[in-house]
Structure 1
C-alpha cells in the first residue's frame, strides 16, 4: 500500500496548491484564496527550473503569510530526490513571516513522485525551535532523518511516516518535553529501509511516564506488530487513551489475542487495526469483546501467508 494520493485536507482546511495555481495563470494575475482559509501546498514540479528557495520566496512575497495557519510541503526537489536541507533552511528563515503557522506537513509526496524510502530528510529539530506556536507536525520519509530532544509547549500532534524510521528519532521523541502532546504516531517500517527501532525503544511511550496529555497513540507499520500488541496489552498509558493505532503492520492472531487477554479496552473510542493478518474468527472475537469501540479491520491479508508485509516500506 504505497502512498498513492496527495492529502486533500490538513489541519481542518482544504489544501490549495500555490505553485500549480501560479503556473496555470501563466504569469497573469492569479486570484488566490484568503490566507487563513486553506492549507497552502507548496512544492516543485518535475524538472522545475526554479529552486525550492526561489519558489518559496515567491510564496512569501505573494501571499499574506502572516495569516497563514497551515502549510503543506510537497516535492523539495525537481528531478531526483535530493536532501531537504535547502528547503528546511528556507522555511526556518521565513519563520518571522509566518507568526500564525500552527500546522506543517513535510513530504506530501506520492510514490509516483518518489518512493518514501528515497526521500532524503535531515535534522528537523529547527522546525520545532523556529515555530514555538506550532501545534501539528507531520514528517514523511526516514532516510537521513534526525531529531534532537527539545521542549515545545504548544505541540499537540506529532506524526512520523516512514518505510523505515530510525530508532534514534524514536528515542529523541522519548527525550522531548511535550506537555501539550495529545496525538503521537510512528510508522516504524522495516530494517531494510532503516527502521531499526526495537520494542525497548517504545517503552517510554507505554509506561505512561511521558506526555501527560496523550490521548492517541499509534505504533504502526511494524514487522514486530504482535510484540507491540502484547506490550500494549499491559501498558499503563492505555488507560488514559481515547484511541489506539496498531495498524499497517503484520499483526496476527497472536498479537490480537494478547490484546484481548490484557487490560480492558472497552473505554476506547477507536481501535485502528487496518492492514492485518487476522483470521475471521479473531476478527469476530474482537468485535464481540469491544462492542462499543469503532474497530477498523479493513485490509485483511491471508493469515496463512508465509510472506507478510507492512503496509508502507519502500
Structure 2
C-alpha cells in the first residue's frame, strides 16, 4: 500500500488547501473562515513556483491567523532531497501570529510527490517547543527524522508515520514526558528503510509511566509485530487502553495467539489487527472471543501478501514501506 491521498481532515476540521501562487483568488472573502478548516500549505515537490516559506508568507497576509486552529504542511520543494528546516523556522518565527493553533501536521505528502521513505525530515521538536498549547502533532517520513526526548504539557495526540523509524526517534519519543497524551500512533516500518528499533526499545510504551492518560496506542506497520504483541500480552499499559492498534505489520498466528492468551482484552473498545498474516482459524477465534464482550475487532487481512523464494523461504511485508 502507498499513500495516495492527502489528509481530508485534521484535528476535527476539513482540510482546505491554500491557493498556490498561480491561482490565488483576488477576493480574500472567497477563502473559508480562518477557524473552520485545517489549512494545508504546500508547493510542488518538483519545479515549485515558489518556496514553501513564500507560500506561508502569503497565507499570513491573506488570513486572520489569530483564529487558525490547525495547519497541515504539505510538500516543500525537493522533499526527497531537502529537509524542512526552513519550513520549521518559518513556523517557529510566526508562533506569535498563531495563538489559537492546536493542531499541526508536518509532511502531508503523497506518493506522486515523494514515497514516504524518501521524504527528508529533520529535528521536528522545535515545533513542540514553540507551540506549548499544541494538542495534536503529526509527522510523515522517517528519512533523517530526529526526535529527541521532550516534555510537552498539553499534547493529546502524537502520530509519526514512517516506512522505517530510526531507533533514536523511537527512544526519543519513548523518553518524552507527555502527561496529557491520549493517543499515540507510531508506524515503525521495516529495517530496509531504517526501522532498526527492537522490542526492548518500546518498553517505556509498554509500561506507560510517562503517558498516564494514554487510552489509544498504535504500534503498527512493523516487521516485528509478533514480538510487539508478545510484549503487549503482559504490558501494564494495556489495562487502561480503549483502543489497541497492532495493524499494518507482519502479524502472524504466533503474535496474535500470545496477545489473545495474555492479559484480558475484553475491556477494549477496539482491537485493530488489519493487514495481517493470520490463519482463518485464528481470525475466527479472535472474533468469537472478543466480539461477544463488546470489543470491535478488525482482523481483515486487507491484501497482505507474501512471496516465496526458490529456497522455500516466505517473505512478508508491512503495509507501508518505501
TM-score between both structures, scaled by the size of structure 2: 0.93
Residue 301 of structure 1 is matched in structure 2 by: 304
Aligned 8 A contact 1:278 1:300 in 2: no
Residue 85 of structure 2 is matched in structure 1 by: 85
Query: 1:300 deviation in Å?
Result: 5.0
- The alignment of Structure 1 onto Structure 2 pairs a total of residues equal to 312
Q: Distance in 1 between matches of 2:140 and 2:81?
A: 13
Q: Distance in 2 between matches of 1:114 and 1:302?
A: 23
Residue 28 of structure 1 is matched in structure 2 by: 26
Correspondence list, 1:109-148, <5 A: 109-148=109-148
Residue 230 of structure 1 aligns to a residue whose secondary structure is helix
Query: 1:268 deviation in Å?
Result: 0.3
Aligned 8 A contact 1:47 1:79 in 2: no
Q: Distance in 1 between matches of 2:254 and 2:303?
A: 15
Please, which moves more after superposition, 170-179 or 303-312? 303-312
Q: Distance in 1 between matches of 2:244 and 2:80?
A: 37
Residue 66 of structure 2 is matched in structure 1 by: 66
Structure-2 change in CA distance of 1:28 and 1:174 (3 Å): same
TM-score between both structures, scaled by the size of structure 1: 0.96
Find runs of 4+ consecutive structure 1 residues off by over 6 angstroms. none
Query: 1:303 deviation in Å?
Result: 7.9
Correspondence list, 1:1-314, <5 A: 1-20=1-20, 23-25=22-24, 28-30=26-28, 31-45=30-44, 46-77=46-77, 81-291=81-291, 292-298=294-300, 299=302, 301=304, 306-314=314-322
- Extract unaligned runs of 5+ from structure 1: none
Q: Distance in 1 between matches of 2:16 and 2:71?
A: 9
Structure-2 change in CA distance of 1:279 and 1:67 (3 Å): same
Residue 15 of structure 2 aligns to a residue whose secondary structure is strand
Structure-2 change in CA distance of 1:129 and 1:234 (3 Å): same
Q: Distance in 1 between matches of 2:270 and 2:12?
A: 20
Q: Distance in 2 between matches of 1:138 and 1:69?
A: 15
CA offsets 1:67-86 (integer angstroms, 9 cap, x no match): 00000111011575421111
Aligned 8 A contact 1:278 1:301 in 2: no
Q: Distance in 2 between matches of 1:239 and 1:195?
A: 28
Q: Distance in 1 between matches of 2:176 and 2:220?
A: 20
- Extract unaligned runs of 5+ from structure 2: 309-313
Aligned 8 A contact 2:306 2:315 in 1: no
Query: 1:174 deviation in Å?
Result: 1.6
Query: 1:49 deviation in Å?
Result: 2.3
CA offsets 1:59-107 (integer angstroms, 9 cap, x no match): 1111101100000111011575421111111111111111100001111
Please, which moves more after superposition, 177-186 or 40-49? 40-49
Residue 170 of structure 2 aligns to a residue whose secondary structure is helix
Q: Distance in 2 between matches of 1:244 and 1:300?
A: 21
Q: Distance in 1 between matches of 2:194 and 2:96?
A: 35
Query: 1:50 deviation in Å?
Result: 1.0
